[in-house]
Amino acid sequence: MSSSMEPKTDTISETDNYMAWRAEEPDGETTYHLELNNITIHFFTEEWEEFLALVRTIVRDADGK
């Protein structure tokens, strides 16, 4: 496979056990990936945005705000 067909990836954030990263796919689509120990969850942009809204709500509620 040529290098032009490889996605361009970058790390959003990581800890010892978790990682969030983004891939710019050759077709122009951006995908997001969460690695949680031995599980990887893949998101398209719209799904990622909805997931982030969910996490923000969880954090807000967990902080009692």
Bridge partners of 30, per DSSP, are 24
pLDDT at 64: 79
Residues 6+ apart with CB under 8 A from 38: none
Q: Kindly report whether the global pTM for this prediction surpasses the value 0.75.
A: yes
Residues 6+ apart with CB under 8 A from 53: none
pLDDT tens digit sequence for 14-61: 999 999 999 999 999 999 999 999 999 999 999 999 999 999 999 999
